[in-house]
């Protein structure tokens, strides 16, 4: 068999065995108050309907911006969950995009080969509140110094 025919047959086989998936009902949560925390949690739940089914296969999420690979958790109802934690100092506002891959796709990514994602999940993080600019104990100390200065300067004016 000629090399050209072999390549065409491999292309047809890979197209016919390709998995197509539909992402439904995505929900997400991120930590919004970082005033007493050291880490921000990013959680996304979603349903993934695939043909052929992914039952019994490992499914992974790859964060597009960093390349971090996260194994997906599978719920009792068949839903999937992405769950990652980042340090408060390294977290960024905005959309975090995750590509969903099977074992085959992940092995292609590790080999630095192009891989087609089964689906893409976008998790939006609006940012985390890290507390007031001026803490109450600092404000009390500043006000104490101002009141003390006013008392001492007022006493000096009264005695003169």
**pLDDT at residue 140, rounded to an integer:** 92
> What pLDDT, in 10s, does the model give residues 83-114?
988 888 888 888 989 999 988 888 998 898 88
Sheet strands side by side (includes 69-71): 69-71, 59-63, 94-102, 119-125
**pLDDT at residue 9, rounded to an integer:** 36
18 confidence band (pLDDT: 50, 70, 90): low
Separation of alpha carbons 136 and 28, rounded Å: 34
**pLDDT at residue 16, rounded to an integer:** 37
Co-location of 65 and 95 in the same domain: yes
Which of 28-32, 120-124, 144-148, 152-156 tops mean pLDDT?
144-148
* 6 part of a folded domain: no
Co-location of 49 and 125 in the same domain: yes
Which residue segment(s) compose the domain that 140 sits in?
132-160
**Residues near 108 by beta carbon (within 8 Å), at least 6 away in sequence:** 114, 115
In the chain, the percentage of residues whose pLDDT exceeds 70 is 89
The vertex-38 CA angle with 137 and 126, nearest 5°, equals: 95
SS3 136: helix
143 confidence band (pLDDT: 50, 70, 90): very high
Find the mean pLDDT for residues 16-29. Answer: 77
Co-location of 54 and 37 in the same domain: yes
**pLDDT at residue 145, rounded to an integer:** 95
pLDDT over 50 (residue 3): no
Kindly report the number of other CB atoms within 10 A of residue 11's CB atom: 10
Co-location of 62 and 122 in the same domain: yes
* 79 part of a folded domain: yes
Q: Assign residue 131 a region: left if phi > 0, alpha if psi is -120 to 50, beta otherwise?
A: left
> What pLDDT, in 10s, does the model give residues 33-78?
888 888 888 899 998 888 877 777 788 888 888 888 888 888 888 8
Give the CATH number of the domain where residue 55 resides: 2.60.40
> Are 99 and 60 spatial neighbours (Cβ–Cβ below 8 Å)?
no
DSSP-assigned states of every residue in 27-89 = EEEE--B-SS-SEEEEEEEEEEEEES--TTS-EEEEETTT--EEEPEE-TTS-EEEEEEEEGG
Find the mean pLDDT for residues 113-122. Answer: 89
Instruction: Locate 57 and state its tokens.
Output: 């296969």
Co-location of 59 and 125 in the same domain: yes
């Amino acid at each position: 068999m000629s090399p050209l025919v072999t390549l065409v047959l491999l292309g047809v086989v890979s197209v016919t065995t390709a998995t197509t998936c539909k992402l439904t009902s995505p929900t997400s949560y991120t930590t919004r108050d970082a005033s007493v925390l050291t880490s921000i949690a990013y959680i996304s739940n979603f349903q993934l309907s695939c043909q052929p089914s992914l039952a019994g296969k490992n499914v992974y999420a790859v964060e597009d911006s960093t390349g971090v690979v996260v194994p997906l958790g599978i719920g009792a109802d068949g839903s999937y969950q992405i769950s990652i934690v980042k340090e408060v100092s390294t977290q960024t506002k905005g959309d975090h995009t995750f590509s969903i891959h099977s074992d085959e796709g992940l092995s292609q990514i590790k080999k630095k080969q192009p891989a087609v994602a089964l689906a893409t999940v976008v998790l939006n993080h609006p940012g985390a509140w890290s507390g007031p600019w001026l803490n109450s104990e600092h404000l009390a100390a500043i006000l104490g110094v101002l009141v003390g200065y006013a008392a001492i300067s007022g006493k000096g004016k009264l005695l003169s």
